Structure 1
């Protein structure tokens, strides 16, 4: 490999090589690690001669359906727990041109964006559903307490693509039961539908987002600030850089992403300070890949989006502690996921491979009713 860089860029490459020197998983064969390292360094070489100043910007983040959605009457939320001994970190408020990820991560994200932009465009109508199947290991421990990680288990979701507002947002199949995703409102009140938007990102809504990364980040900033204001989130709990990273991660997780939108989001992530390369990351299915990571210094953990080291396809995500906290020792896994399939289907419970709704299984509510009937 010819070295065509010097000065600051050479120093950045040496730092990237240092980051890749020790695999995160102790059981990774040396040859596999070298493959990851060579792949990433090759990508940097390809960009070396045409490295020019790119527009750089930082904006806050979005959350997927969490605030307003109920799961069988229980609010559907993304589990976020922090160690009680974690110290607040300064908020990243800089949105200037120098607030970007290190060059190694920026180059990787730029290449991922290029691949994403060439993926196939889908045709999705308002009466269809986006289906996503994942394998997930999640923390079921008490808030702030020791991590209790579940064994990997399958989760299927069907998300409504109606522009809305809708009250029946979708369906989850997990642990042998179906759970309706509905807009959460107190008993006795008229349900208020949820429109397509940042809290319910349909394919059409995602496709409507600006594809210029700077404009996209400004759009997300407005949405996120509005959401945080509605939740009365204290100013001290808002970390613009971390919120941005977490939000993009949420949008990647259980949606079907239009190619141009995905590319814009990855380019936006390259503008987030503190984003780094996780030289080897393993998803819930045991697949090794290159991670795009960021440390949440307030909470004490790192989250990495995992990509196939050859195809740069999104594989999943993992989070683990970066210091000892009340949740566990440094290195403890908090959660891990793997995307197995994404598709567009015509009906709830339809399996993409079968092309028909799956056999009727009782929902969580049906199961409870049957148990009550049996007991009486």
Structure 2
């Protein structure tokens, strides 16, 4: 079934047939119908006289002509498959020849796979611009204050929010941030998921998820080989359970999107990879930290629910949140159901030529 879904996702990004193609197909079909009537043997006339070709009337035959033409181009019309959203004919195109993002036909979203498929279709219609290693990613973020000086945790809407501006060089040779209105530039990187790694990820969701699992497994193998010291002795950590491995994959992808400005195709592939992780669910009607309407992809593991927010119109990444789903004693720290441990919104992102630039 994955192959069928991948085929459908690819087809959804292809253009509608030209009007002349549809007209020609309709003419050929009508001519064939007339020719069939004139050549029909007499002995079949009484039996088939009341039955139109393929059980269609003239209106149905015309609709079939449109369906044949559109299916040849890889897309079904809203009459061909339930749930496909109707759209005006595509007349615009991007420089790559793909359909304009504003005229795409996208399916209604019922689950994580549908969301990923629409994001992939939209990304395929956008110009593919590769950033240079010497450029910088600018991010403006909003963060909720979840706890102050060991006080009560955050429940519900945060009273205090912090806005942060940061820059990150794409080759990880530098990062920068605003401190009291002044730009502070540092060498090196403070990010766990590096930009070269993110930009090297494949556009195929399955291959991308395999790469993430390989990374997690490699890091886990290193920990098993050289376990942390405790009381002067080294011990071997317990191997990851299947649920923990899937949880880390979700968090790894979410962290990559949170701290980077990504090409649309990479972001769409990451949505597709998230949708393939066991336990990942889709929820509509959400609102992010900035109050923007969105939808979420989320996964519950143990006592935590990790979720990312996505714009349902543009499929842009909006932010993330981690919520406690049940009371839990976390190494002496009491966590309560509904407590928010982390909440972040990505307000703006751009690829710029130097730290300090915003567009």
| TM-score normalised to structure 2 length | 0.57
Give the equivalent residue in structure 1 for 2:160: 151
Distance 2:322 2:311 in 1: 17
CA change 1:175–1:137 in 2 (3 A) is farther
- 1:248 pairs, out of 242, 247, 253, with 253
- 1:220 pairs, out of 208, 212, 224, with 212
Distance 1:331 1:174 in 2: 33
Q: For structure 2, which runs of at least 5 residues remain unmatched after alignment?
A: 1-80, 86-109, 229-236
Distance 1:335 1:227 in 2: 24
Spell out the pairing of 1:27-66 with structure 2 (5 A cutoff).
45-46=83-84
Spell out the pairing of 1:82-93 with structure 2 (5 A cutoff).
none
Matched, 1:200 2:190: no
Give the equivalent residue in structure 2 for 1:210: 202
Offset of 1:349 from its aligned partner? 1.8
Offset of 1:120 from its aligned partner? 4.2
Distance 1:305 1:125 in 2: 27
- 2:276 pairs, out of 261, 271, 287, with 271
Offset of 1:285 from its aligned partner? 0.9
Please give the per-residue CA displacement for 1:187-244, whole angstroms capped at 9, x wherever unaligned. xxxxxxx9xx973214xx5343222222222222222222334454834456111111
Maintained 8 Å contact 1:131/1:343: yes
Maintained 8 Å contact 1:44/1:107: no
Maintained 8 Å contact 1:44/1:108: no
Bigger Cα displacement from structure 2, 241-250 vs 263-272: 263-272
- 1:294 pairs, out of 294, 299, 309, with 299
CA change 1:343–1:330 in 2 (3 A) is same
Matched, 1:281 2:286: yes
- 2:122 pairs, out of 115, 120, 123, with 115
Q: In structure 1, the residue corresponding to 2:346 is in which secondary structure?
A: strand
Matched, 1:303 2:306: yes
Matched, 1:320 2:312: no
Q: In structure 2, the residue corresponding to 1:46 is in which secondary structure?
A: coil
Distance 2:177 2:304 in 1: 28
CA change 1:180–1:316 in 2 (3 A) is same
- 2:141 pairs, out of 134, 137, 151, with 134
Maintained 8 Å contact 1:317/1:338: yes
Offset of 1:170 from its aligned partner? 0.7
Please give the per-residue CA displacement for 1:258-315, whole angstroms capped at 9, x wherever unaligned. 2322222111111111111233322221112111111121xx2212211223333322
Higher RCO (CA 8 Å, separation ≥ 6 residues): 1
Please give the per-residue CA displacement for 1:168-190, whole angstroms capped at 9, x wherever unaligned. x3112356565555558xxxxxx
Spell out the pairing of 1:347-358 with structure 2 (5 A cutoff).
347-352=354-359
Give the equivalent residue in structure 2 for 1:161: 170
Query: Max radius of gyration: which structure?
Result: 2
Distance 1:151 1:316 in 2: 17
Question: What is the total number of aligned residue pairs between the two structures?
Answer: 235
Q: In structure 1, the residue corresponding to 2:111 is in which secondary structure?
A: helix
Offset of 1:254 from its aligned partner? 1.9
Structure with the bigger percentage of helix: 2
Distance 2:248 2:149 in 1: 23
Please give the per-residue CA displacement for 1:322-375, whole angstroms capped at 9, x wherever unaligned. 1123554322222222211111112222232xxxxxxxxxxxxxxxxxxxxxxx
Offset of 1:46 from its aligned partner? 2.8
Give the equivalent residue in structure 2 for 1:374: none
| TM-score normalised to structure 1 length | 0.54
Q: In structure 2, the residue corresponding to 1:280 is in which secondary structure?
A: strand
RMSD of Structure 2 on Structure 1 (CA):
3.2
Maintained 8 Å contact 2:216/2:245: no
